[in-house]
A and B are shown apart, each in its own frame.
Chain A
Amino acid sequence: MKRSVEEEIIYNSIKWYMFPDKRDQIVFGAYSSEDFLKAVDTAKKHVVVPFLFDAFNEGPLKESAPAECLKEINDITRKTVIQSYRLFFLTRYTSGLLNDNGIKTAVLKGIAAAREYPKMLYRKSGDIDLFLLDKTNLSDAVKILQDNGFLFSEADQTENHQVVLLSSDGIKIELHTMITEPFSETKVNEKLSLFENDLINYTESVSIMGSEILCMQRGAFAFSLLLHALQHFMRAGFGIKLLCDMAVLFENGLSEKEKETYLSLVNENKLTGFSEVILSVCVYYLGLDKEKVPHDLCDIKMCDAFLDDVLAAEEFGRSDVNRMAVMNSTGLGGYFKEFHHQMKLSFPKASKVFIIIPVLWVITLFRFLRNNKKVRNTTAREIFKNSSERSKMAMELEIFKR
């Protein structure tokens, strides 16, 4: 339960920002300049520096934080605010453009997550994610955006479940036909596909900065954030920002119907253990009211281990070259299953032709070894070691089992 001083500064400052009504419950200690510098450095890696702004500028850290920390926080926050305006207007424009042409989209993450915060402009995003409520509209959507000046480039198409277009200033507009990339569990993917096909029934128009934007209802949205977290956890991990998204969303409260939707989706997809650990960390460290959590909390030791993983991951597992996909079972069988899954992600169409699968395995293995050496500058052994440690945690969380 005892975390480092820099973490204490970050979590308390985040609570100060996210939950102004609970400020009287937050106890800051006395910190050294080094503690502050480390805290800001970690916050930078997790892209949550603007969340520190209020505590450092208007709160109890105002007098004690070094001037260089304040300057850095203020500069980053100001830039984030301007970028948030850019993304808000571009989201409104692109979703509106598609809607005017009969193509309905729901905003994933981005401003849909930001709107839950007391100051939405402080949540940093880099791109725009739009989910097509009817996936057969994909080619029309791409054409409409291209006709309106957005650029399509083959080089940007790195994922199978989305098409990426670029604005004139290089912002990515990702058109998604799936909420998340496929997992290695076929049954889960089938259930998620049913959910995606039915997603139009889980959407609502919400007012964001005075504009009506189509988003998911909170229960479904919470589930989509959980899937997003899971997708990154199963790869190289995710950072503090995603935990904040969950904490602020649940603290704002889900209606009984939304809670029911969330729990039913979590149970159906056997993600109870994963949801428990995420929301428990939000309760223990980010000030989420435990009464707002729709299920049991999990063991504090598990939360600590999970939070260690989150901290080590930084934003979307960028920190450590040795971090690799998590497996849901151990031993050679587990490695092979994950390897086969990675092959299917790399070759979604070709992998359906049974006879060429061995060739695709060889290509996947070659790419893995080459990327380790040239891109990640590490060894397969180190990657397997790290993966094995993280996979043990995944098994304790009983992902896709409970």
Chain B
Amino acid sequence: MKSLDNYEIHKAAGTYFLVNMAQKGDVFEKPVEVNEFGALVVKLIKEGKSEDEAAKLLADEYEADFEEVKKDVSEFTESLYEKIG
């Protein structure tokens, strides 16, 4: 699983972009567009939280069911790591 250390979340054009700021060379790694939920998940993971910890914090924040949020976080991260390789 690729680390998110080199990635930053930027907000622009009404959306969030996950950008690999360390990319080099001629080949462009296109920023990945994520929604607000995704941006929060990335922020928490970059802060060193596990998926479970991130889900717990988000469930508290949005007063949502932990299991459902955990599932959403898991699906989001799986899809994200697939996109960034």
Q: A interface vs B, CB < 8 Å?
A: 50, 53, 57, 74, 77-78, 80-82, 85-86, 89-90, 93, 119, 121-122, 148-150, 167-169, 209-210
Contacts and interface: CB of A to CB of B under 8 A. Distances in A.
Interface string B1-43: 0000000001011110101010111111011010000000000
A74 B15 CA distance: 10
Contacts of A148: 26
A82 B30 contact: yes
Which of B13, B15, B19, B30 has most A Cβ within 10 Å?
Answer: B13
A90 B24 CA distance: 8
Contact of A93 (B19, B26, B30): B26
A213 to B, nearest CB: 14
A121 B12 contact: yes
Nearest to B23: A89
B21 A81 contact: no
Given A209-B21, A210-B21, A89 B15 contact: no
A210 B19 CA distance: 13
Given A81-B17, A82-B30, A82-B31, A119 B25 contact: no
21 contacts: A53-B13, A57-B14, A74-B14, A77-B12, A77-B14, A78-B15, A80-B13, A81-B17, A82-B17, A82-B31, A85-B31, A86-B30, A90-B26, A93-B24, A93-B25, A121-B12, A121-B13, A148-B26, A150-B26, A168-B27, A169-B28
A50 B28 contact: no
Contact of A168 (B17, B23, B26): B26
Interface size on B, as a range, is 10 to 19
Nearest to A75: B13
A210 B20 CA distance: 12
A50 B14 CA distance: 11
Closest 8 CB pairs of A and B: A77-B13, A78-B13, A81-B12, A81-B13, A86-B28, A168-B26, A121-B12, A149-B26
A53 B12 CA distance: 10
B12 A90 contact: no
Contacts of B31: 81-82, 85
Contacts of A168: 26-27
A80 B33 CA distance: 14
A95 B28 CA distance: 16
Nearest to B20: A89
A90 B27 CA distance: 9
A85 B10 CA distance: 11
Given A209-B21, A210-B21, A89 B28 contact: yes
Nearest to B24: A93
A94 B6 CA distance: 20
Contacts of B21: 209-210
Given A85-B19, A209-B21, A210-B21, A90 B28 contact: yes
Which of B10, B25, B26 has most A Cβ within 10 Å?
Answer: B26
Contacts of B14: 53, 57, 74, 77-78
A67 to B, nearest CB: 14
Given A85-B31, A121-B13, A168-B26, 9 more contacts: A50-B13, A53-B13, A74-B14, A77-B12, A77-B14, A81-B12, A81-B31, A82-B17, A93-B24
B26 A167 contact: yes
A81 B30 CA distance: 11
Contacts of B12: 77, 81, 119, 121-122
Nearest to A211: B21
Nearest to A149: B26
Nearest to A85: B31
A89 B23 CA distance: 7
Contacts of A93: 24-26
